[in-house]
Each structure stands twice: as C-alpha cells, then as structure tokens.
Structure 1
C-alpha cells in the first residue's frame, strides 16, 4: 500500500514548477501552510529531503528531489490520463491537450491543425506551442507537453513517434539559375556557389551535417532564421539553398520565380512525425490528434503529387 497520496505528488510538482511554496499554494488554491505541510509529509514518507526552503529565494530541489520530480510527473500525468479516458468514454473528446510544433513546420501545419482539429473538437482545450523540436521534446518528457510535431531527424532518445508525412530535402534556386530548367541536380555541381542557410538549430545540427556527409561543403554566404527570407534571397540570385518544407507556389514573397530541383545524391529523409511519450494506452485525445495528422499528411502528399504532375511537360505521344 502506498504511503503517499496523488494530491501530495501534485503539490510537489506544483512547487517544483512554481519555484516557491507560496506561488504553488496560490496556483493550487490552498493555503501556504497546507502546501508546506503536504511537502513535509511527502518528504517524511519517502524518507528523503526533496526541497531546500529559502525564505527569500523560494525553493531549490535537492538531488533526490530532482530525480523524484520526473517520477512524480509521470505518475501525475498517468493519473490524469486515466481520469481523462473515463470522461472521454462518457462525453467524447474533452479536456486539455498541449501540442508542441517545431517552428519550421508552423506555417504549414498550425493553420491546418487549428481549422481541422481544434475547431472540429470544441470540447478540447488545445494549447499550441512553437519552438525548437528537441527542446519541445525535452519539455514533453518533463510533463509539460502531450506531443510534438517535428521531424524524424530531430527525435531525442526515449520518445515514441508516428510518421505522418514523408520529407526529402530538395535544392531551391532562382528562376533564372543555370539549372532552373532541370528536374534534378548533383550536390557537387553546386560546390562553388554561395549557399543561403536557414539558420535554425535543427538545420545547423542535422541538415548541414548530412550535406557534408554527402560530399558537399556548403559555402554559406547568407543566413536567416526566416524560411521566406531564405527563399527571397535565393530568388534574388544570392545563392541556392536546401530545404524540406515546400510551399505550394514556387514564388518568393516579392513575386520572383523559384525552381525546385530534386537531389540525385543520397541525402536521406527528414520525415514529419508526431512525437509522444511511449505508452500502451495513449489518451483518446492524443490518439485523435495523431490520426488527424496522419490523414492531413496523406492529403498534403496527394496535393503535392498533383502539383508536381501539373508542372511536368506533357508528352503528346502519350495520348496516341
């Protein structure tokens, strides 16, 4: 039989999150004395000091407290999932769902999620958080997010994932580039040209590494953390770039033409996926979100294939 209660674990997690007994008490709508007593009793039960109380600086977790926090968060999260499943069976999809989205995917996926999933499920309290894929997954592991939409190349150890859309890097050049009329290119053909880099952590840590492993040392002349700024610089002839996400129109913001070239070298895939904490019983809310993303990804792939087919020159002999 357990000697500590779920409520004590919830209070401990609140104290760790808020950084002080008083702030956690206010957030949990109980008195400061009751919060302090709950933490003291939890420490007595587990037989270790979990927090160091500082009158002016709040609390600091001990080494034992830091380890215990992760286990406590997992237990609290599981208890919430169990309760949520009971409610969902009775009322449908209801309750909170916090989804992280890698910033590089935001423009392509957040409008889709907002329209097709959030508005379609008014009983859910969906919160969408943008950021770096790996950092969002760390927050998920620590109990602050339910899932993260990111790339398979960004996955951190220990998380589960479901691939929702294939992603293969491509070369983007200006509409008047010497290779613009071609369908594909070898990376070595671009070795002497300037490279415009999408300057975000995942590209620096993954894509550039893969390009170098493929035999190309990008000659980085321009950088920007904005996808559209990168596309605009390419359209102006400042260099070429390598991207994964592809807008449906091959034009920059200022209306200049761009050309997409497939890469003939083996640069691997960077598929889009939903990352989550592995579990035999994911919540109905999370399963519904994953299923939505799988369907949305399949739709995006069909639309991309249709656009690609429409751009290919027609062969009159094919109709004979």
Structure 2
C-alpha cells in the first residue's frame, strides 16, 4: 500500500473544518472534481469511509475520518517543519559542522566564537574535536572534519583551503618563585628546567626553532600536549614553558588572562616569537550547511 498523500490529507482536513467539499475547494484553490478525487482515492487507499456526505453538499467526518483528521494535523505540521528545516539547511542557517583544533584554542578562543555563533545561528551545531595541527589536517583530508584551526608553518595540502586567522605572541610562562629578567632570551631559558609541548606538535617545532636560531637545543623535563596541564606544572614550580598568549582581543588586550593560574609570571621573549594560526577547510562544495556561518564567525575573532 502506498503512503499517505499529504495533499489528500490536507483536503480531508479542510472539508472537516469548513463542512463542505465546495468550501474546501475554494479555500485550497482546487477544482471541485479534484477535491472529490482526493477523498475517493484516500478512502480507497485506507479501505474506510472518511466522510458522511449530506444532500446539500455538506460533509462531516466519520469516526475513522475524525481519527485521521486529528492525526493528520500533526503530520502536516511535521511536514511543514521538515520543509522549513531543509530550507534553513540550504540557506546555511542550520546544520552540523565538525571542527578540529588544539586545547589552547578550545579553552581561550573558541568559546567566544561559539557564543556568538549560537546567538546568531542557534540551529548550527559545531562538533569540536581536540587535535594537534597534523592530526587536524589528516582528518580534513579523510573527510571526517570540515574546518580546522592549525598552527603554521604547514605545507599547502591539495583539496584544502587555508587562510591566516590570527597571530598571538609567544611568552615565557615562569613559576611564581623564580627571579627573572624583564625579557627572556634563549640563553637564560635554556639553562632552566622546561615544560615542552609534545614533540609531534607544531608548537614544539616553533619553540625549538627559536632556541635553535640562538644555538641551543634544550631538553624538557616533560613533554605533553595539553596547555592547561603545562600551566599547572609551571604554577607548581616544575619548570618554565613557552606558550602563546591566547586571548580574543589579541596582544593589545589585558596582559594577563590566567584566571586558573594567577601566580604564573609571564615575560616577553627576545627575540620575539609569534604563533600563527590559520583556518583550513575542505573545498566549499564539500562543506555542510552552516559551515559558511562558522567561517564568518571565526573571521570575526581573527587578529
């Protein structure tokens, strides 16, 4: 048996509400024979009389018809909602977008982007995966992510679009009890115990290049890929770390944004070092509905 026809169901409900075939035809802008055909086909499909016809063109639902009218109203509402949802998807106002980025971005930068996005596009869902830059690129190429926020430098990848997002100054994060100069250079820092990012990360490569340019190649007490854990170790006096100052206002914002680790000392580096982040995404024709809105929200917080 074929499924219910929504146009026929709409005709039945109009007759039940207006009391006659003629009134339903006028309200639905249908020819009277079309209204009659809708009802006869619907009754034949269901094997039940749905309307009691009166002599002067009036009609009222049978018990079966009344049950279908009640259920049919919900079916029509569901159909209208489904159509509206598809339209919003097509217009980029709804959808699910998969985004990958590192822990520091998730903690300090991404929440503000997501807050803005939720206010402007409440039907866009962003699924966030915490990943290093190389893993983010690999998943973008495999199609399991749509957008990534990655640290530079990275070689261009075929099929992926990459544009600069923001620049954040790298700082020396020092334990509270250390006596330290106003500006930290590689020689001074290389002589201290250190907490590094995991050696597979772009942050590790960036930090070691800074030391290497001055002729140093220090090793760390511990390597890990979780920014907040690194800061906790610094606050406990375990060692110093080189990390970006991640804040939505960029370098010109308040100099300290370490609510969980107020005791940490921060010093600028000499020579200066900057962490460059880029937005990378799949080809636009492969992006899901809502991805453009996410890209625009990210761009608003670039710097």
In the superposition, the TM-score normalised over structure 2's length comes to 0.58
In 1, the alpha carbon distance for the partners of 2:107 and 2:258 equals 16
Number of the residue aligned with 1:240: 240
**How many angstroms does 1:251 deviate by?**
5.0
**How many angstroms does 1:148 deviate by?**
0.7
**How many angstroms does 1:290 deviate by?**
1.7
Checking the alignment, whether the CA contact within 8 Å between 1:194 and 1:218 is kept in structure 2 is no
1:99 and 2:104 matched: no
- The 3-state SS of whatever aligns with 2:220 is strand
In 2, the alpha carbon distance for the partners of 1:100 and 1:232 equals 24
Matches within 5 A, 1:1-320: 87=87, 91=91, 93-154=93-154, 157-158=157-158, 159-179=160-180, 182=182, 184-199=183-198, 201-203=200-202, 206-215=205-214, 216-246=216-246, 249=256, 251=258, 253=260, 257-265=263-271, 267=273, 269-279=274-284, 285-298=290-303
- The 3-state SS of whatever aligns with 1:185 is coil
Checking the alignment, whether the CA contact within 8 Å between 2:173 and 2:267 is kept in structure 1 is yes
Checking the alignment, whether the CA contact within 8 Å between 1:150 and 1:274 is kept in structure 2 is yes
- The 3-state SS of whatever aligns with 2:239 is coil
**How many angstroms does 1:228 deviate by?**
2.3
- The 3-state SS of whatever aligns with 1:257 is coil
Number of the residue aligned with 2:61: none
In 1, the alpha carbon distance for the partners of 2:200 and 2:119 equals 32
In 2, the alpha carbon distance for the partners of 1:219 and 1:252 equals 29
Checking the alignment, whether the CA contact within 8 Å between 1:102 and 1:133 is kept in structure 2 is yes
Distance 1:278 1:155, change over 3 A: farther
Checking the alignment, whether the CA contact within 8 Å between 1:150 and 1:272 is kept in structure 2 is yes
Structure 2 residue runs without a partner (length 5+): 1-85, 248-253
**How many angstroms does 1:147 deviate by?**
0.8
- The 3-state SS of whatever aligns with 2:280 is strand
**How many angstroms does 1:243 deviate by?**
0.6
- The 3-state SS of whatever aligns with 2:217 is coil
Q: Paired residues, what number? A: 209
In 1, the alpha carbon distance for the partners of 2:282 and 2:90 equals 25
- The 3-state SS of whatever aligns with 2:265 is strand
- The 3-state SS of whatever aligns with 1:194 is coil
Moved over 4 A (4+): 86-92, 247-252, 278-284
RMSD: 3.2
- The 3-state SS of whatever aligns with 1:237 is coil
Checking the alignment, whether the CA contact within 8 Å between 1:252 and 1:258 is kept in structure 2 is no
Checking the alignment, whether the CA contact within 8 Å between 1:105 and 1:245 is kept in structure 2 is no
Checking the alignment, whether the CA contact within 8 Å between 1:164 and 1:297 is kept in structure 2 is yes
Checking the alignment, whether the CA contact within 8 Å between 1:134 and 1:155 is kept in structure 2 is no
**How many angstroms does 1:293 deviate by?**
1.0
In 2, the alpha carbon distance for the partners of 1:89 and 1:233 equals 45
In the superposition, the TM-score normalised over structure 1's length comes to 0.55
Distance 1:259 1:166, change over 3 A: same
- The 3-state SS of whatever aligns with 1:97 is strand
Checking the alignment, whether the CA contact within 8 Å between 2:96 and 2:289 is kept in structure 1 is no
